[in-house]
Amino acid sequence: MLTQTAYATEQDVALPRALRDYGGQVRLRLSGPASAPLIVALGGISADRFVSDRDDGAPGWWPGLVGAGSAIDPARYRILGLDFAADPTGRRAPSTDEQADVLAAALDAVGAAQADAIVGASYGGMVALALAVRLPERVRKLVLISAPAAPHPASSAVREIQRRTVALGLAGGMGEEALSIARGLAMLTYRTPKEFAERFDGGSAEADTLATSDAGHYLRARGDAYRRVMTPERFLSLSASIDRHAVDPGQVSHPALVIGALTDQLVPAEQLRALAEALPDARLHLLDSLYGHDMFLKEAPRIGALIQPFLEQA
């Protein structure tokens, strides 16, 4: 089904037959002039197709990088946003190779033989790497932000604890509360201790063992907000998908821009240095940031200043 709004075109994408267990279809959103260069923008596991704008005209999830007047402006580029495929039961995790096949199906759906670039952050960058190896003819260049060739063991361990928490909550009929707790734990890896020290007081004066600290109120609020955009089952599927990711960057022949945060606890800087060194044609920018892994969201104009000239190069 295709729908047209004042801002963008939306379209259902049937999943390849081998991937029908992941819900049967996903939805894409296409903004910008039909004749403009096509940019695919993908983010973390909670990102969706609303990259540049929403149905009510509000900004999408990547303001400051994608949108009017930004580095990826829908007046200059044709921008493809895509919902990730996930198992609605939460029992199986798609590989990033399989997500690459879903992206290829989306490109087919909009009549594009090749994307001019994929701008992928976190999980989206992993999918971009997988597509570049699996279907190299479908993309011309890559922007990889805080996205490794394979997950760091410490990060996989944290995600496993999150998934065990959510699975325990589902078994006890408290899946959404468990998801909120798992999201709070994730925020501790997305951000930095320095940011927490600047924003919150430590400790608690309460005798109640379940009293909420200053920082804990923030983590609870972020966890509860996450329940509005993610189900426990979808979280299990996509979180585990991150840990299935593995590519050989030496097989990537595309020009690549690699960007990361020196303070990232989830994808440490040494992983991105190793990735850039293994890629045949890559430029690396590691930035100091208060926001760690979330730099790509919190400092989007800053990374946009690096991305814009890379996209504009022939």
Mean pLDDT, residues 92-113: 98
- Per-residue pLDDT at 123 exceeds 50: yes
Q: pLDDT value at position 7? A: 61
- Active centre residues (catalytic): 122, 264, 293
Asked if CATH classification 1.10.1740.110 holds for the domain at 153-242, the reply, yes or no, is: yes
Instruction: Identify the pLDDT of residue 204.
Output: 86
Residues 6+ apart with CB under 8 A from 312: none
Q: List the single range of 50-54, 118-122, 255-259, 266-270 with lowest mean pLDDT.
A: 50-54
Characterize 229-249 residue by residue with b for buried, 16 or more Cβ atoms within 10 angstroms of its Cβ, and e for exposed.
Answer: ebbbbbbbbbbbbbbbbebeb
pTM reported for the whole predicted model: 0.95
Architecture of domain 2-151+247-312: 3-Layer(aba) Sandwich (3.40)
Average pLDDT of span 132-141? 98
* Statement: residue 6 has pLDDT above 90: no
- Give the DSSP H or E segment for 142: strand 139-145
Looking at residues 108-118, what average pLDDT do you find? 98
Domain edges within the chain: 2-151+247-312, 153-242
Stretch 184-206: mean pLDDT: 95
Length in residues, the chain:
314
> Is the predicted pLDDT of residue 48 greater than 60, yes or no?
yes
Q: Is pLDDT above 90 for 226?
A: yes
User: CB of 146 within 8 A of CB of 262?
Assistant: no
**227-244 pLDDT, tens per residue?**
999 999 999 999 999 999
pLDDT value at residue 21: 85
